[in-house]
Amino acid sequence: MPPDAALNPIQVTVLAFIQGFTEFLPISSSAHLILPSVLLGWQDQGLTFDVAVHLGSLLAVVWYFRAQLLTLAMAWFGSLIHRSSDKESARLAWFLIVATIPAGLAGLLLDDLIESYARSALIIGSSSILFGLLLWWADRRNTMRADRSATLSELRWGSVLLIGIAQSLALIPGTSRSGITMTAALFCGLDRDSATRFSFLLAIPIIAASGLLRSIELARSNVDATDVLLLAYATAVSALVAYACIHYFLRFISQIGFLPFVAYRVVLGAVLLMFFW
For 210-239, write each residue's pLDDT tens digit: 888 777 766 666 555 557 788 899 999 999
Side-chain half-sphere CA neighbours of 18 within 13 A:
19
| Alpha helices (runs of H) in 41-86, residue ranges in sequence order | 46-64, 66-81
99-154 pLDDT per residue, tens:
999 988 988 787 666 666 556 778 888 999 999 999 999 999 988 876 677 889 89
Considering the entire predicted model, what is its pTM? 0.89
Q: What is the pLDDT of residue 184?
A: 97
Kindly state the DSSP code that residue 43 receives in the 8-state scheme. P
Q: What is the pLDDT of residue 188?
A: 94
Q: What is the pLDDT of residue 2?
A: 43
If you average pLDDT over each of 172-176, 204-208, 242-246, which comes out highest? Answer: 242-246
Q: What is the pLDDT of residue 5?
A: 47
Q: What is the pLDDT of residue 120?
A: 76
Q: What is the pLDDT of residue 81?
A: 84
Residue of higher predicted confidence among 268 and 44: 268
Q: What is the pLDDT of residue 40?
A: 73
The answer to which of 134-138, 145-149, 168-172, 177-181 has the lowest mean pLDDT is 145-149
Q: What is the pLDDT of residue 216?
A: 74
pLDDT-above-90 percentage for the chain: 54
List the one residue out of 173, 167, 166 whose CA is nearest residue 115: 173
pLDDT at residue 66 is higher than 90: yes
Distance CA 194, CA 191 (A): 5
* CA 260-265-268 angle, 5° bins: 125
Average pLDDT over all residues of the chain: 86
Q: What is the pLDDT of residue 117?
A: 58
Buried b (16+ CB within 10 A) or exposed e, 124-153: bbbbbbbbbebbbebbeebeeeeeebbebe
Q: What is the pLDDT of residue 121?
A: 77
